[in-house]
Amino acid sequence: MALTGILGTLGLEVVLSLKQPLVRAMWDETAVQAAAVGAAIIAVAVSVAVVGPSILVVVFFGTVTYLLLLSAVEFRARRTADSNDS
């Protein structure tokens, strides 16, 4: 189940990166951010009710994968910016 969370997150990020300008424009809207958080909470709650608490493993590993990917991208961006300043 952990692999499902990891691969699901990576797959979603690949798909979203293909439409990066559109995704960025949409994500800048506060209503979209609020709707995404609300939808995620509802999806997790429904998944737990239907599948059971084991689905939280998928959610956990998906979230950890996303945070690690985000950290790597941010680290790379800062490192690139620092090398351009030199």
Q: What is the pLDDT of residue 86?
A: 64
The pTM assigned to this predicted structure is: 0.84
Amino acid letter, 85: D
What single DSSP character describes residue 54?
T
33-46 tens-digit pLDDT: 999 999 999 999 99
Q: How many domains does the chain have?
A: 1
Radius of gyration of the chain (CA): 16
Structural domain that includes position 69: 2-85
Least confident window among 2-6, 59-63, 77-81: 77-81
Give mean pLDDT, residues 44-53: 96
- Model pLDDT for residues 3-38, shown as the tens digit of each residue: 999 999 999 999 999 999 999 999 999 999 999 999
